[in-house]
Amino acid sequence: MNNNQQTPKKRIIDVDIHESVLYKDLFKYLDNPYRRYIEDANWIQEKHLPYTQPSVAGVNRADAKTPDGGIAGSDLPFMQEQLLDDIGHEYGILTGALDPSPSSMHGWYEMATALASAYNDWQIENWLEKDERLYGSVHINAEDPSGAVREIERVGSHPKMVQILLPIDDKMWGDPYFHPIYEAAEKHDLMIGMHHNEPPIYYGKWPRYFIEWHSLLPTTHMMMVTNMIFNGVFEKFPNLKLMMIEGGFTFVPHLMWKLDQQYNDLRHEVPWIKRKPSDIMKEHIRFCTQPSEELNKKDFLSIIDQMGSEEMICFATDYPHWDFDSPHRAIPNFDSDLKKKLFSENARAFYPKLK
């Protein structure tokens, strides 16, 4: 535990912090034959993103590389110094994962399940148990729902595990095939966090440039929210909530209007939906400030007014990524009550395990 923590300048709950891991760090937690495949046969996960990286340090801040030259986000003391202590976090939610997520692996689901389990044990021992401010995400191989449920049963009751992390890619997680995962989540007071994971953003293909892909990421979040609502996830699991991570929030009013209009016209196709989609969103779904469009105060307040709720937005830095958002710049200088909601209280209300 770091004993030199500063008094927080703001009560910040950061819902998107990316810790990083190397395969060798997981060997302690990974049984054979899976460890042997990596250690002896040089197995690595397939990569999807076809672009050059957007900054001099790839997808990370150049100054976030560890003092010994390690990858950004891989050293807890340095993260404490650069982020948690410097800004004054009350809590931070870890959303790092293997790249890509075990739930995005194509085939060989046994390896994906083993990696998810090893990652959870590594995260608990090396991060959650060493800083009281950090809370974690349960990693699973969602392609194997029964195996995913076993992993949730194994670590989901840990008091510092607050959500199940799912990648936004080419899987539509509202499908009833995945509903056992949400049943297990409810049982353990776990929310669902979704974060894009190198997904194609249209028709399973890639645009030509990174700037196109990155600009259109909100469309993947829109697709997933639509899928979760109309497949009845929140009607079937009334205590479940969903955090949409690193997709921003400015698209939300449009999506609320569109889904309500479509529901008015086509509700006969989804008779299990008993409420307007916008009401389901207000009760069950939260969105992150990051990546901030750097709105002025008037425009930011206009988006909140169009949402019809001050409770739907939660603050995120996305540390240590290249488009990191500082709490000193990402949000305009609002009145104290609204700032408190955005910086901490909306997230506290969302995650039951936060005190």
pLDDT(7) > 60: no
Q: What is the pLDDT of residue 104?
A: 84
CA distance linking residue 111 with residue 115, whole number of Å? 6
Q: What is the pLDDT of residue 6?
A: 46
Q: What is the pLDDT of residue 208?
A: 87
Q: What is the pLDDT of residue 53?
A: 67
Q: Is the dihedral of CA 144, 101, 154, 12 positive or negative?
A: negative
pLDDT(44) > 90: no
Q: What beta strand segments (E) does 159-241 contain?
A: 161-168, 191-196
Mean pLDDT, rounded, of the chain: 92
pLDDT(97) > 90: no
The pTM of the full predicted model, rounded to 2 decimals, is: 0.95
Q: What is the pLDDT of residue 36?
A: 96
Cβ contacts of 193 within 8 Å, gap of 6 or more:
15, 93, 95, 137, 163, 164, 165, 166, 242, 243, 245
- Provide the pLDDT confidence category of residue 200 given band limits of 50, 70 and 90: low
348-352: average pLDDT: 97
- Provide the pLDDT confidence category of residue 98 given band limits of 50, 70 and 90: confident
